[in-house]
Chain A
Amino acid sequence: MLPFSFEWVWDMGHVVFHGGLWYALSVIGLGMTYCIIKTVLDLKKGDAGHHH
């Protein structure tokens, strides 16, 4: 999973596979981080959003 495991090689298979994996993980992770940070900032601004 990381280049520290002994069977890791920098070949095309690893680059494509782990490239796709880490891309997806980053999108998910960054997306959730954005949501949480934005929520905290919104609340600090006093916008609880109870008005639709």
Chain B
Amino acid sequence: MDSALIPKGVKRCPTWQFLLWIGIVGAVLLWGVYAMLLCWIKGLNQTNMNDYYGFALWIWADLAVIALGGGAFFTGFLRYVVGKDELKNIINYAVLIGFICYSSALLILAIDVGQPLRSWYIFWHANVHSMLTEVAFCLSCYFGVLCIEYIPLVLENRQLDRVPFFHRLGHNMHEIMAIFAATGAFLSFFHQGSLGGVAGVMFGRPFAFREHLLVWPYTFFLFTWSAAACGPCFTLLITHITEAITGKRLVKDNVKDLLGKISGWMLGTYIIAKIIDTWYWAAVTAPSKGFTLMEFYSDNAFYGIWILVTEIVICGVLPAVILMIGPLRRNRPLFLSAIILACIGVCLNRWVMVLQIMAAPVMPFDNWALYLPSWQEVATTILPVAYGIILIMISYRYMPVFPQEQELNPVVE
């Protein structure tokens, strides 16, 4: 039925099967949309947030998807600025995943603010000293860059490509893509960092506060670094999942190996910096405010010391070692475990840097506050996942996302 839209030389599932899955995932999407409308119409009383948890599940989801979407900027940086040419075989998918992640982040933010219609104040009345202002500006600009990077792929659709203007436009955009990619990398270094800065500048919260280099707290650099390390892992993970679902090899092993190796070295160096940061914070910064490390981790089992060990050792050191050492990296189950652990690690880090900050009391006579999200918060957090799956399904079906697909899966007529 839709065969005229499907790229030449590749095989896709029957239309009914495609539509069935769109329908199933679409139902989840609609559930999320319903919750979103509830939040917009009735207000944030639909959530389980409170005056202790002003930042909660949504802000974590924002930070997590932006970190995981970091694969787009870092792969783009490696491909266009550093010149790792092999990565052209995965860059389309990295861009698509980044596009989904960033549009999701913007959507979640639009639900999260109390007065969404006033969101433009953050631009118009910008307080340039606020990390959140920098996040808002760079996030929006970088989303524009992602659109620019994604459009040429859309224009490569068989039918769109027949329109001379689109064909030529796509070609011309490819020609100067390096400039856009470099701008995207510039913007990303800043907003990824500023998201870390959001926590690091809170000098009223000893759990969050970190020493500064110029105007930037150390969390600024750690967040950029971890996003550059773990973002490509997420791209690789989604590629593996897509390969498993489609039952095809879509990207050659040498490309995955290269991206995995670079991620490994980024993760390895990051985790050393993170350990030094944690040690300095525990030994110097927090005690100077009257806190010991264990005060932050021993009130309840949920925020126990296990969370720090898991983040740094199990989801940091371990995957870094696997990805850095060639023979380990080339072992498929180990490789998969490493990229999954790296993704969990960065999500856990963002969780701690949002939720645990809110949970830990500062006034000596105050108590720990725990929180469980409401179903509306959960549904609106799943909403972008459903949206992402649908966009990937459509893109994969109608656009040549994987340049190596044809070669790896010759169609026998």
Interface residues of A (CB under 8 A from B): 1-2, 5, 7, 13-14, 17-18, 20-21, 24-25, 27-28, 31-32, 34-36, 38-40, 42-43, 47-50
Q: A1-B126, A17-B128 are in contact. Are A43 and B165 (CB under 8 A)?
A: yes
Total A-B pairs, Cβ < 8 A: 67
Measured between beta carbons, the chain A residues less than 8 angstroms from B273 are none
Measured between beta carbons, the chain A residues less than 8 angstroms from B190 are 20
A50 CA / B183 CA spacing, docked (Å): 29
A21 CA / B113 CA spacing, docked (Å): 23
Q: Across the interface, do B172 and A35 meet the contact criterion of CB distance under 8 Å?
A: yes
B127 at the A/B interface (Cβ < 8 Å)?
Answer: yes
Q: A7-B125, A13-B128, A14-B128 are in contact. Are A28 and B169 (CB under 8 A)?
A: no
Q: Across the interface, do B169 and A18 meet the contact criterion of CB distance under 8 Å?
A: no
Q: Across the interface, do A32 and B148 meet the contact criterion of CB distance under 8 Å?
A: yes
B203 at the A/B interface (Cβ < 8 Å)?
Answer: no
Measured between beta carbons, the chain A residues less than 8 angstroms from B18 are none
B141 at the A/B interface (Cβ < 8 Å)?
Answer: yes
A49 CA / B163 CA spacing, docked (Å): 11
Taking CB atoms and an 8 Å cut-off, the chain B residues in 141-189 that contact chain A are: 141, 144-145, 148, 164-165, 167-169, 171-173, 176, 179-180, 183, 186-187
Measured between beta carbons, the chain A residues less than 8 angstroms from B311 are none
Q: Across the interface, do A24 and B187 meet the contact criterion of CB distance under 8 Å?
A: yes
Measured between beta carbons, the chain B residues less than 8 angstroms from A28 are 141, 144-145, 148, 180, 183
User: 10 closest Cβ contacts across the A-B interface?
Assistant: A17-B128, A48-B164, A35-B172, A39-B169, A39-B168, A13-B128, A27-B183, A1-B123, A38-B172, A35-B173
Measured between beta carbons, the chain B residues less than 8 angstroms from A18 are 128
A19 CA / B124 CA spacing, docked (Å): 15
Measured between beta carbons, the chain A residues less than 8 angstroms from B164 are 43, 48-50
Q: How many residues of B contact A (CB 8 A)?
A: 29
A39 CA / B164 CA spacing, docked (Å): 9
Measured between beta carbons, the chain B residues less than 8 angstroms from A42 are 168, 172
Measured between beta carbons, the chain A residues less than 8 angstroms from B148 are 28, 31-32
A47 CA / B187 CA spacing, docked (Å): 35
Q: List 21 A-B contacts (CB under 8 A).
A: A1-B123, A1-B124, A7-B125, A17-B133, A21-B141, A24-B183, A25-B141, A28-B141, A28-B145, A28-B148, A31-B180, A31-B183, A34-B176, A36-B169, A38-B172, A39-B169, A39-B172, A43-B165, A47-B168, A49-B171, A50-B164
Q: Which of B168, B169, B172, B179 contacts A27 (CB 8 A)?
A: B179
Q: A1-B126, A17-B128, A31-B180 are in contact. Are A50 and B167 (CB under 8 A)?
A: yes
Taking CB atoms and an 8 Å cut-off, the chain B residues in 97-149 that contact chain A are: 123-129, 133-134, 137, 141, 144-145, 148
